[in-house]
Structure 1
């Protein structure tokens, strides 16, 4: 189960970077600033988690069903973004299509925040003895720098 969760987390992060690749640098920076701020602000909550509590959450079928609904909605936003972005390259979109593309483009993803929380929790567990706030600030700084660069790299790789 842990492998499936890690794979889904990696795909959510890739989806986040893919959506940011369709934005300008200012929108990328604002989006990454929000995610970095979220990471720093959730430091206390992440530090209070335990490995057994997280394992208990992953073994609850109700929670996994709820997460599958959120994942389905997130995938629908990503699919809509990809289809509308490709359609806009072929020709102009109508008014509703342009509005839908704008919404899909600027919604960073519904699951990126729980994934960032999970990454912060894993970092806190894997770095014993390191100040929790320093870990959160370091992850926030990495997000602020690496995510826009990854989106720019994706734009360069697949124009």
Structure 2
């Protein structure tokens, strides 16, 4: 399970770099500085950790359930950003402020990943000054994020293609996150009760009504747009 969690963290770093590739260079530099300051700030906390504590933390069912919720929400935000950016690329003016909000969200999962990487570096470089380790790692992150985003932009200059990769990696993060955080505990047990046909019929009827309402509204909207297009073409 530890290898799956490390794979998940790797994809989170890749996904975060892809998201930063949609930012301007100065914005990635500012974010790199924020990450570097975070690393230096949490260094005293990372020093107090041990391998046993981290292992127990990753084996804690409550922590894994919270992590699964966090990963799911983060992936949903990434999906929303991809779809909103595609709508903006099509020239639709609606929801531009939503794109700005989603575009400005860097991905908070990067920070616990950076904390975990810092602890692993401290464990692997025993005997070295903790301050030196944290400062060197912070410097590497400060320079690494802007350079990696520039490399991604150079390799994949098309925004649409990077959006597709960002969407796929977000999907992988969501799937691997659910796999890595699953356990055998049943949170809500099933209730034994007889088959309720009336409730099932009511649900099917309710679904049919809303489906027809949505279908009819979509058809009416499509016809209006077609009529407007024909009117403009005749003029």
| Superposition TM-score, scaled by structure 2 size | 0.65
Cα distance, 1:72 vs structure 2: 0.6
- 1:148 paired residue number: 146
CA distance in 2 between counterparts of 1:93 and 1:135 reads: 48
Cα distance, 1:85 vs structure 2: 2.1
- 1:5 paired residue number: 5
Cα distance, 1:12 vs structure 2: 1.0
Cα distance, 1:84 vs structure 2: 1.9
Q: Deviations over 1:116-147 (max 9, x none)?
A: 10010000001111111111111111111111
Cα distance, 1:92 vs structure 2: 3.7
Q: Deviations over 1:70-100 (max 9, x none)?
A: 0011111111222222332222431xx2222
User: Could you say which structure has the larger radius of gyration?
Assistant: 2
Cα distance, 1:63 vs structure 2: 0.6
- 2:18 paired residue number: 18
Q: 1:122 aligns with which of 120, 123, 128?
A: 120
Structure 2 residue 66 is the aligned partner of structure 1 residue 66: yes
CA distance in 2 between counterparts of 1:15 and 1:104 reads: 14
The correspondence of residues 1-159 of structure 1 with structure 2, limited to 5 A, is: 1-94=1-94, 97-159=95-157
Cα distance, 1:104 vs structure 2: 1.5
The count of aligned residue pairs is 157
Q: Any runs of at least 4 consecutive aligned residues in structure 1 with deviations exceeding 4 A, and if so which?
A: none
SS in structure 2 of the partner of residue 117 of structure 1: helix
CA-based RMSD of the aligned residues comes to: 1.1
> Greater relative contact order (Cα 8 A, min sep 6): structure 1 or 2?
1
SS in structure 2 of the partner of residue 42 of structure 1: helix
| Superposition TM-score, scaled by structure 1 size | 0.94
